[in-house]
Structures are given as structure tokens and as C-alpha cells.
């Protein structure tokens, strides 16, 4: 199935953005249940995959409940990227996604992620090599450009389409912006409005409310929206987007509903990762799960030092 056909299955397609340390299997499944249409793995190092590092293979694991599901890979060499793409394709996801947008220094310093925005011909060449290496659809997630004076995203999108990608997700910031400032959706809209573009364009950046998701899709004409940081500890945002789309806004979850979902999330991750890791990782989620809850800070302080599931539940329900 092509990406265009896949997106046509949904009235208002919404992606859960791939996020390292966040979009593991448990969280992807929860977001799917709450309305996310398409989910993607945490990004996976092509070098690690080609060296058969066990942790990287675990990141590719998924269940049928997560479909449509994509595996996202990153890297800076043709050999490693194509090898990783073949290994990922062997897991039979619905598509392979290449990360050409991560702004983090340790990724960029390896010539991967957003670093490629400094060498567009290389970006095109490596992307084409991945497209030719696998039979699955290949998509790309990238940014507007390297810095404010260099935002060649319209050209990038055309050239990547020409070498065979089936969709492009664009974060409306440059690498220099990291995650600061406001996402510029006007250039995302320019890509979509380009008459040469025939593949789906997915808009990403600052989609932090249901109202904004609907407004941006209508204003800029994108084929889908992608929710990233606003979904951390907040799977309800997908439910809210779908409800508003149908004209029936849904209420904010109650405190007890939040606790119940946190405990489910925590217990499922204990099964996958062990108690110590699951409890530590959940610390990054509490701010999202309990955003707006009056006087939650004293509980959060206690949760930051909790080391067992039982302790966490006692603090939350006490």
C-alpha cells in the first residue's frame, strides 16, 4: 500500500511523531487507542543496526495493534543506511522513515539528522539509495533548512520526491532554531502548494491543541498533521483532535483517569523494560500527564525519587 493510499483511509490523518525516549511500544499503543492514526518508532541508528546492536533491534519491535507503523532510521553513510533499511524492512513495518531533521549535537556531529541540510546533493543521493534498497514505501522527516538564511525546503521536497520518497514530514523550524521560537508553517504550506508536488505533505511543529491541529491543516492544506512534544504524557490530544473534528469537543480527563493511565503505562513498560528502567523513564512523563492539575508539584517531587511501581501508585493515589 502506498502512503497516499494509507492516508486516504483516514478522514483527518494524525501522526504521533517519532521521539527518542518517548515513543516506545507502550506509548505508541496508548496513543493509537486515543486516536493517533499513524505511529513511528523511536529513531534508530543505522550504524547500530548494521552492527546488530540488540537494543536497536528491540526498538523496531511492534504489534499489529500499532499499524500503520513505520520504522525511523538515521545515519550519515550510504552503506549503513541501506543496510539498516533492509534490516528494518525485514520486520515488515508499513514504511521506512529517514530522519533528516534531528538537531541534537551528538547526531549532527556524526553527519546524520539535520546535518545533511548542509549538503542537499548528499541528502538526495542517500535517500535514493534507501528507496532502491527496499520494497517498502520510504518517507522522510526533515526541517526547513540549516539556518534562517538558508531554507531550501521547497527544493528539497521536489528533489526527494523525484528520487522516490512517498511522503515528506516537515518540521517548521531550522536546525539552528532547535525547538525554540515559533514554527514557520508558511513554508510547509509553500511545499504543499507547489504544483510539482504530488506526494503527501505532513506538517509538524507547535501542534499543541486540537484547535491548532484543525486550523493549520485547513490554512496550509497539508495532507496530515504530526503531533510531537504536545503528546508527551498527553495521549488525550489525539482524542481531542478527533472529537473537535466531529464537532463534539471532549472534556479534559479527570485526575483519577490520569492516574489510571499512568499506572497502566508504567506497568506495561515494567513488562517490557524492567521496573527500574520503567520507573526512571516515567519521570519524564509526569509533567504531561498531570499538566494543569492543581497543586500537583508536591506529588511530582516525591515521584522524582520513587524507585518502585508501588511507591509511585501510593504517591499518586494517596
Residue with grid cell 515559533, as numbered in its chain: 182
- Which residues are marked as active site? 102
Provide DSSP, 55-73. HHHHHT---GGG-SEEEEE
Handedness of CA 88, 167, 25, 204 (dihedral sign): positive
Burial class (CB in 10 A: 0-12, 13-18, 19+), 87: buried
Alpha-carbon gap, residue 231 to 43, rounded angstroms = 17
- Measured between alpha carbons, how far is 115 from 100 in angstroms, rounded to an integer? 8
CB atoms within 10 A of CB 25: 22
CB 190 within 8 A of CB 154: yes
Amino acid at each position: 500500500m502506498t502512503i497516499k493510499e494509507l492516508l486516504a483511509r483516514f478522514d483527518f490523518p494524525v501522526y504521533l511523531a517519532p521521539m527518542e525516549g518517548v515513543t516506545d511500544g507502550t506509548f505508541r499503543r496508548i496513543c493509537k487507542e486515543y486516536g493517533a492514526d499513524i505511529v513511528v518508532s523511536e529513531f534508530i541508528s543505522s550504524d547500530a543496526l548494521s552492527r546488530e546492536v540488540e537494543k536497536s533491534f528491540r526498538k523496531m519491535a511492534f504489534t499489529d495493534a500499532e499499524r500503520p507503523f513505520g520504522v525511523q532510521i538515521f545515519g550519515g553513510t550510504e552503506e549503513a543506511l541501506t543496510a539498516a533499511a533492509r534490516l528494518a524492512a525485514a520486520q515488515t513495518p508499513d514504511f521506512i522513515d529517514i530522519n533528516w531533521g534531528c538537531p541534537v549535537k551528538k547526531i549532527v556531529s556524526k553527519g546524520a539528522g539535520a546535518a545533511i541540510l548542509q549538503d542537499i546533493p548528499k541528502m538526495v543521493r542517500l535517500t535514493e539509495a534507501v528507496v532502491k534498497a527496499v520494497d517498502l514505501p520510504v518517507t522522510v522527516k526533515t526541517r526547513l533548512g540549516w539556518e534562517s538564511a538558508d531554507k531550501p525546503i521547497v527544493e528539497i521536497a521536489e528533489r526527494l520526491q523525484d528520487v522516490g520518497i512517498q511522503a515528506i514530514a516537515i518540521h517548521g523550524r531550522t536546525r539552528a532554531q532547535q525547538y525554540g521560537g515559533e514554527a514557520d508553517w508558511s513554508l510547509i504550506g509553500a511545499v504543499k502548494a507547489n504544483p510539482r508536488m504530488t506526494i503527501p505533505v505532513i506538517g509538524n511543529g507547535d501542534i499543541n491543541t486540537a484547535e491548532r491541529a484543525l486550523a493549520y491543516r485547513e490554512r496550509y492544506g497539508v495532507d496530515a498533521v504530526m503531533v510531537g512534544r504536545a503528546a508527551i504524557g498527553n495521549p488525550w490530544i489525539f482524542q481531542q483532535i478527533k472529537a473537535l473534528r466531529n464537532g463534539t469537543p471532549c472534556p479534559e480527563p479527570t485526575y483519577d483517569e490520569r492516574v489510571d493511565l499512568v499506572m497502566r503505562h508504567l506497568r506495561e513498560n515494567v513488562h517490557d523494560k524492567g521496573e527500574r528502567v520503567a520507573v526512571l523513564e516515567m519521570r519524564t512523563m509526569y509533567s504531561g500527564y498531570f499538566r494543569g492539575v492543581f497543586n500537583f508539584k508536591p506529588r511530582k517531587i516525591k515521584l522524582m525519587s520513587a524507585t518502585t511501581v508501588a511507591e509511585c501508585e501510593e504517591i499518586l493515589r494517596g
